[in-house]
Amino acid sequence: MLAQSAAKVFQTGVVLLIVSVASFSLLKLAPGDPVVLMLGSEFSQESYDSLQRELGLDRPVVLQYLTWLGNFITGDWGTSFVSRTDIFTFVVKEALPVTLTLTACSMLLAIAVGIPLGVIAAVRKDTIWDTAIAVFALTGSAFPSFFLGIVLIWFLAVQFGIFPVMGFVAPWEDFWGGLYHMTLPALTLSTYFIGMIVRVTRSSLIDVMEQPFIAAAKARGEPRWRVIWVHGVRNIAMPVVTMIGLQLGGILQGAVLTETVFSLPGLGQMLTDAVLGREYTLVQAGVMLTATMFILINLLIDLSYPLLDPRLRQR
């Protein structure tokens, strides 16, 4: 098992290296000259050549990539030429905590709602409960996050005044105030994934409930709740966890639109502003950080399989 874990870690490193090459190459192919963008509309050739040498853009592309990769690993991500702030500080200490808060709240809400509904749908298969939950799951999956966010703002914030329209309060500074401001964004982002979790939980649990060990548990006279939640739900952990890990990229993608709709100062809003302002260095840092989080979380999910299924520990 240790050799398999080491192999997965090595594969993760290779994937991250490929992502870094792709990210750096896309930055080079992007339209516009970063030197011109930093200098403005009026500049001399001497200023242009001086800044190009300062940024290292006069060196071979391979050397530029190696320099950038080394600086990225050590936390030297450069300086934003719009806000004149350190990119690492801006991305990691300011934008990233907002996105992680939104992602965590959305995922916890999706799991807390999706798994129980999926279990009820499986246990009450082919009943009115199953039909109602299926309709709810399909309806939630059909709404784009930006449209659902606007609808929730209009009804729950503007019309009824239950929640704030926009803004962010850090939960580590004001826990209940942070949760209150994060309710609508988390509900907007989690609705699609609630439907996904419901469908995967339902189909997986239906298959598990037909297995012989479930019949044996019933024959032993174990309570129905124990048969379902201990023997049944425990054995659908792997497909549910796998689906959650694979859908994490969708959550990060949906965070871009959700943060824009609710004016949350996270990675999504940062990337949107950076693209509009042609701050490609900032875009590159955001893309690399997002890809790194997605890949590392999938690595953790792969490494968790032996904990979820004891049979894998013997291989």
Q: Supply the DSSP string of 81-93, one letter for each residue.
A: TTT--BHHIIIII
How many whole angstroms separate alpha carbon 224 and alpha carbon 218?
8
Q: Kindly provide the b/e burial profile for residues 124-141, where b requires at least 16 CB atoms within 10 angstroms of the residue's own CB.
A: eeeeeebeebbebbeebe
Task: State residue 136's pLDDT score.
Answer: 87
Q: Is 169 helix (H, G, I), strand (E, B) or coil?
A: coil
Q: What is the pLDDT of residue 125?
A: 86
For residue 31, the model assigns a pLDDT of 66
Separation of alpha carbons 251 and 255, rounded Å:
6
Q: Quick: pLDDT tens for 241-285.
A: 877 777 776 677 777 778 888 888 888 888 887 777 777 778 888
With tokens 């806000």, the residue in question is 83
Query: Which tokens belong to 229?
Result: 């939640």
Question: Tokens standing for 66?
Answer: 């190696």
d(C-alpha 128, C-alpha 159), whole Å: 32
In order of 111, 143, 175, 315, the CA distances from 152 in angstroms are: 21, 12, 22, 49
Q: Which helix (H) or strand (E) holds 52?
A: helix 45-55
Residues near 285 by Cβ (< 8 Å), separated by ≥ 6? 72, 77, 78, 87, 88, 91
All residue ranges of the chain with pLDDT < 50 are none
Is 237 in a helix, a strand, or coil? Answer: helix
Residues of the chain with CATH 1.10.3720.10: 87-312
CA 255 – CA 25 distance, rounded (Å) = 25
Torsions phi, psi for 95 (to 5 deg): -80, -40
- Alpha carbon distance 181, 164 (integer Å): 6
pTM for the full predicted model: 0.78
The one-character DSSP state at 277 is T
Distance CA 213, CA 232 (A): 10
What number of other Cβ atoms are within 10 A of residue 184's Cβ? Answer: 23
Q: How far apart are CA 250 and CA 141, in angstroms?
A: 12
pLDDT of residue 86: 82
Positive or negative, the CA dihedral 85, 87, 93, 98 is positive
- Architecture of the domain whose range is 87-312: Orthogonal Bundle (1.10)
Contact 137, 117 (CB under 8 A): yes
Q: What pLDDT is recorded for position 238?
A: 78
Cα–Cα distance, 204 to 123 (Å, whole number): 11
